[in-house]
Amino acid sequence: MKRYPRTFLQLITLGNILFALPLLIAAGFVFIKLDALNDHFRQAIEHASSSSSLSGELTEDLVHMERSLRRHIVLKDTDSLNDYARVRSEWRSNVESLAQLTPLPAALLRDLAAQLDLEQKAYMSVREGKEIESLAAALDELKPRSDKSMGDIREVLESEQKRFLDESNHLRTHLLLSAGVATLVAISCLWAIRALLARLIGRFEKAVIRLGKGDLQQAIELDGPGDLRWLGRWLEWLRRRLLSLEEERAQVLRHVSHELKTPLAAMHEGASLLDEEVPGPLTPEQRRIVSILQGNSRRLQDLIEGLLRLQQAGHAAERIAHEALRFDQLITQVVETTQLIAAERGVKFECILPETGIVAGREALLTIVHNLVANALKFSPANGLIKVSLSHDASTARLDIVDQGPGVAEQDAPHIFEPFYRSNASRDIAGVGLGLAIAREFVLAHRGELKLIPSSAGAHFCVILPLKASYLRQAPHA
């Protein structure tokens, strides 16, 4: 047996978790990637801002350094040299900050270090008392080199920004792909859980429908969560209980019918003797009473025999001897047996009966066709027409019988197959209301379907039977 959660609630909760899990994973992935992208973007903005600020400060520092140095050359004062030293310190600090601002190529870092070293050597030579022109020459050389370094750094930052844009586009593609995959997985999980729930509920529904239709022979066993299996056990108990009650009812019906037939036969025989005037001549009033006795005894006998046939039809599935038959030939045989009665009323048959082989019970099939044809003949008007058509496909045969009688009223349609049900249109027509019920029981015994088709004129009954007897009812479990 497959392993299921203990309850339907747990199964539904599991389905919700499986549906939400891919979406939660995708949301976590998106959050992590966006957080990393946000950090990268913030760093890029900070680097660009700092680079722009430091580039301006470096340019101003070099200009200020050059101005202080030239003032010192002209005035030979110590303050100008001290001012140079102060600005020089700021310049070196800015260069070092710029070198640490963002990962720079090794050649650019070496060039920045070389600029610091060039200025350092020239400045130290001045401090040692050598000619100051060497420092001025160094500053002249530093200015274009610094401008070139600033341009290279801007290119590095622009390259970093371009890489950031490429990374964001790449991430967007990944996010869309992950969202699509997560949605697909979530929908797949939802569909799988929905299909599982539909299958489990469908089995329960089929079991209840079988009980409702009176199919009590097939044992009920449901799998799934514990509470569904518990319901299955109760349905099986109900099936066994209904089967037991049905058997008891059938047994009582057999006994009662048997006990009624003996005194009924004696009463019918006595009425026949009186009708034949064996005890002596009858007066007209006595003959009328004898006629009433004979009619009611025959009606009661038909009723008892109909009840017995209905009871036999209800248990026909266990006793049907299936054999290969020609359905069209059986229908022709039934129509021929009713031709004499039909001819007396001028009723004609229009038959379309293609060759159709079927595996079924001969007597059951004859009863089905005979009851439907007899019903159509009973309600057909004088000089009416009864259409009998047979068709089949690869698995089923369909028999349609249409008459030109009063038809079935809308309020009578739901009850037309119930035993002893007589519609208003049939009150004045002989019968006990068992023919359609018996036909339906035999149809159900073959796992077929008998239904009333809505019709604007007359009654239209349709029988659908399987061509093969491969799915007979299972015997009840002990």
163-197 residue pLDDT tens: 777 777 777 787 778 778 778 887 887 788 778 77
405-433 average pLDDT score: 72
User: Which fold does the domain 8-192 belong to in CATH?
Assistant: Four Helix Bundle (Hemerythrin (Met), subunit A) (1.20.120)
As a whole number, the mean pLDDT across the chain is 78
Check residues 11 and 436 and name the one with the higher pLDDT. 436
DSSP state string for 390-428: EEE-SSEEEEEEE--S----TTTGGGTTSTT---GGGTT
Buried b (16+ CB within 10 A) or exposed e, 27-49: eeebeebeeeeeeebeebeebbe
Residue 371 predicted with pLDDT over 60:
yes
- Domain 216-314 is in which class? mainly alpha
pLDDT at 264: 67
68-95 average pLDDT score: 81
Return the axis-axis angle of helices 284-314 and 435-445, rounded to nearest 10°: 20
- Domain 321-466 is in which class? alpha beta
pLDDT tens digits along 220-246: 887 777 777 788 888 888 888 887 877
pLDDT at 390: 92
pLDDT at 402: 92
pLDDT tens digits along 142-162: 888 888 877 877 777 777 777
Residue 97 predicted with pLDDT over 90:
no
Separation of first and last alpha carbons in the chain: 21
Amino acid at 257: S
Instruction: Return the C-alpha torsion angle 306, 308, 309, 310, nearest 10.
Output: 80
Q: Where residue 469 falls among pLDDT bands split at 50, 70, 90?
A: low
Instruction: Return the C-alpha torsion angle 77, 80, 82, 88, nearest 10.
Output: -150
318-341 average pLDDT score: 84
Global confidence as pTM: 0.46
Q: Where residue 464 falls among pLDDT bands split at 50, 70, 90?
A: very high
User: What percent of the chain has pLDDT above 90?
Assistant: 7
- Alpha-carbon Rg for the chain, nearest whole angstrom, is 52
430-459 average pLDDT score: 81
**Can you tell me the distance from the alpha carbon of 145 to that of 221, in angstroms, rounded to the nearest whole number?**
90
Taking alpha carbons only, the member of 409, 397, 392, 416 closest to residue 455 is 409
Residue 425 predicted with pLDDT over 80:
no
Same CATH fold, 216-314 and 8-192?
A: no
Q: What is the DSSP pairing of strand 449-453 with strand 460-466?
A: antiparallel
Q: Where residue 473 falls among pLDDT bands split at 50, 70, 90?
A: very low
Q: Where are the domains of the chain?
A: 8-192, 216-314, 321-466
User: What percent of the chain has pLDDT above 70?
Assistant: 82
Taking alpha carbons only, the member of 399, 355, 360 closest to residue 376 is 399
pLDDT at 472: 42
Residue 327 predicted with pLDDT over 60:
yes
pLDDT at 344: 85
pLDDT at 461: 92
**Can you tell me the distance from the alpha carbon of 157 to that of 159, in angstroms, rounded to the nearest whole number?**
5
**CA pseudo-torsion sign 136, 138, 141, 145:** negative
